[in-house]
Structure 1
Amino acid sequence: MGRIIDFQDHAVATLRARVAAVEEANRDLLAYARNRSGAVAAIHRAVLAAAAATGLEHLIHIATQEWPDLLGVDAVAIALALGGRGVRADANGLQYVHPRVVARMAMRVDGARMRGVTRGHPLFGPAASLIRAEALIRLDHVAPLPAGLLVLGQRAPAGAIEGGHGAEPLVFLGEMLAHGVARWL
């Protein structure tokens, strides 16, 4: 006589595992969407704050002093290179840097690059040793305006920050800053 094999228990267990995996993927997707929505709202607040600038110094003050709180990051620096001069501005003020450092980095970044790091980019200045996740955002200008870079950093390492996924809002922030710099120059 033949033996009857019951596949029902195995099929139900497989189905339950698949449903659990789909539910976990949905939770992850929802968390990502909420996180991205919060980031976009923060960038909108930062853009509105910058739009109120009354001059280049005021714009740089807003970006370096107010944006860290608005964007939820620990450090913001702006670097510009024009001709034979390079400057970087952060919460500690304005410092001169070699213009080739700024121009070279601006050329290497296409839009925005987000990455986890063991040490932040040198454009963060003294805060570089504390940075564990950073976003490098190119400030596009047409000559004779300066080449530039906006750098955002945080102390906490960020999961899945590598690459350019989700960089569009950061590119928008960089474009707005570039237009502001051009306006006041």
Structure 2
Amino acid sequence: MTDQHGELDAALERVIEAARHHLAAVRAAQGRVDDDDVWQAYVALNNASFAYDEQLLDAFGEVTPWDVDSIDPDEADERFGGEGAEASDPHPRVISVRQRRDYRVPSISALLRAAEAARREGTPEDDEPAPVEGVGEAVLELLQSGDGSLGALDVPELEPLDGVVMVSEVG
């Protein structure tokens, strides 16, 4: 168990170091939205956050508030403005949309039951699904049993509160 804690601490340190590097790159770019150093630092921060989130989930069934997917730096350069992108893309604009939604859980047991029902629906009849053991796992199960969008969380067991949507246009 100590090795697992050490790995989590190291992953968290990588997130912190990547965040510091990203901030330094943003400051150095002085508002230029097409700065390659900012992009590379962003990808490093994203991937460090993703790795930490995965390790935290594996170790404790807990997640961070960051909803990120791993980014392959080479694929991302090709897709989001790497060399030659302007020549092949008649619309060289990319937008970044981030959304955070907050929920109140009026009844943890009701949420766990809803998640277990969703898990049973996705499990073959001859298999006994594992029980859902926590709020984070329940929410993840609802997301996975739905279409993967946050709309899958529009259930009576979760009361939506405020949220934030951020849209940034990147040249």
> Looking at CA atoms only, which structure, 1 or 2, has the larger radius of gyration?
1
What's the TM-score once normalised by structure 2's chain length?
Answer: 0.31
Q: Which has the higher strand share?
A: 1
